[in-house]
Amino acid sequence: MSNNNLIEKLTLQSESFQEGFEILCRAFSFNELVKNFLHLIRGNFLISEVSAFHKANIHSEWKTIHSNNKNNEEVFSYFNGLTSMNVEYLQQDKYSVKMFLPLSDKSFLAILVGNKLDKTNFTDFDKVTLQILIQVFDSAHRYFLNQQKEKALIFELNEKVAQLNNLIDTVIDISRYDKRNTIFETSLERIASLTCASAVLLQVKSKDEAIIQYSFPKNVHYDEMIKSNSVVKAEFDYNGQTYLFILAEKESRDGSENFNELDKLLLEAIIKQIKTTIENDYLNNQAKEKEKMEQELIVAATIQQKILPVTLPEISGYQIAGTNIPSKEVGGDYFNCFNLGNEKFALTIADVAGKGI
């Protein structure tokens, strides 16, 4: 076939290649993508049977995507030793073409193409068409990978947004509580939910001795936690006490996995809010105590003023006056003047050291 005729026929098939690409791009899984590619090969070359195999990397085992061959070990021998792209046309064999295709994700696809229904060999036009179909498949596979990455990115983004919203709700809830038991129990439950930890423990220590412990779920022991394969710790000190948080065994759909940096950041954010809530609770109690003390001082000052005389006796030839202005709420000074009769008076002035209530 002349080059002009070959180009003319390929030009006529350009729409078919475009349609094939669109079909491949509609695949929802890699296996579906490959099977659609096999359909294109059958349709373009009128092939009786096409088999496909895949392996994740050069060292892994072949996995069958589609094959009617009962002895695939024999089939795999066609691809022994291959590491780069190989398209070979076979003569006088039950297969007409073998293809070894390295893919863009570092995996490998192997395809065995059976004989044509009319028993003819692949023509030059067929070979060029197959090369174009391989390129179409490669482009569709790259598109598929990008779509998968985009979906994974969207899923991860949605997951992070959900975690952020949960974190905000957790911070708000923690800030509302005034009982430490409620603060700790709620916090541990939320930490487990946000980080997918199978267990969360809080140990409050004073002088390196545990004085109280909380856990989610209940009855989780410290010794068991620290023996876990995946553990994250975080702590803070306040008022002479250490608050130690431990996360163990991150759960996932594939079993267990290690905690990531986001998990650590979420834990740090929550315990920071816990510390702030404890500080606010302490300061609030201090303010209440101060207010109570001030009220008691006002009462004491009122009582003290009532002890002092409102008026003093009149003594001929003398002027007597007195007042008491304490430097603080309550003072230690006292004065009075008593009429003893027979023109005798007792003048009293006292100063009490070490005032108190």
Write out 62-75 in H/E/C secondary structure: CEEEECCCCCHHHH
Q: Where are the beta strands (DSSP E) in the chain?
A: 50-55, 63-66, 86-89, 95-102, 108-114, 197-206, 209-216, 231-238, 241-252, 255-257, 333-341, 344-351
pTM over 0.85: no
Residues 137-171, buried b or exposed e (16+ Cβ, 10 A)? Answer: bbebbeebeeeeeeeeeeeeeeeeeebeeebeebb
Q: Is there a contact between 123 and 148 (Cβ–Cβ < 8 Å)?
A: no
Burial of 98 (0-12, 13-18, 19+ CB in 10 A): buried
Interatomic CA distance for residues 183 and 178, integer angstroms: 7
Nearest in space to 30 (alpha carbons), one of 101, 102, 86, 109:
109
For residue 89, the cross-strand partners are: 97
Amino acid at 32: E
Query: Once rounded to an integer, what is the mean pLDDT over residues 16-26?
Result: 88
Structural domains for the chain: 3-150 (3.30.450.40), 177-283 (3.30.450.40), 308-351 (no CATH)
* pLDDT given for residue 334 in this prediction: 82
How far is residue 12 CA from its own chain's centroid? 53
Least trusted range by pLDDT, from 5-19, 27-41, 326-340, 342-356: 5-19
Q: Is there a contact between 197 and 245 (Cβ–Cβ < 8 Å)?
A: no
pLDDT class for 77, splitting at 50, 70, 90? confident
3-state secondary structure 286-333: HHHHHHHHHHHHHHHHHHHHHHCCCCCCCCCCCCCCCCCCCCCCCCCE
Q: Is the pLDDT of residue 236 over 60?
A: yes
Q: Which of 3-7, 130-134, 193-197, 299-303 has the highest mean pLDDT?
A: 130-134
Other C-beta atoms within 10 Å of 113: how many? 25
Q: Is the pLDDT of residue 4 over 60?
A: no
Question: In this predicted model, what pLDDT tens digit does every residue of 293-338 receive, in sequence order?
Answer: 888 888 877 887 778 888 888 888 888 888 888 777 777 788 888 8
Other C-beta atoms within 10 Å of 300: how many? 15
Q: Is there a contact between 220 and 199 (Cβ–Cβ < 8 Å)?
A: yes
Interatomic CA distance for residues 271 and 278, integer angstroms: 10
**Residue 199, helix vs strand vs coil:** strand
Nearest in space to 247 (alpha carbons), one of 268, 231, 271, 264:
231
Q: Which residue has the higher pLDDT, 164 or 84?
A: 84
Question: In this predicted model, what pLDDT tens digit does every residue of 122-156 receive, in sequence order?
Answer: 988 889 889 999 999 999 999 999 988 888 777 76
Interatomic CA distance for residues 26 and 140, integer angstroms: 9
Q: Is the pLDDT of residue 189 over 80?
A: yes
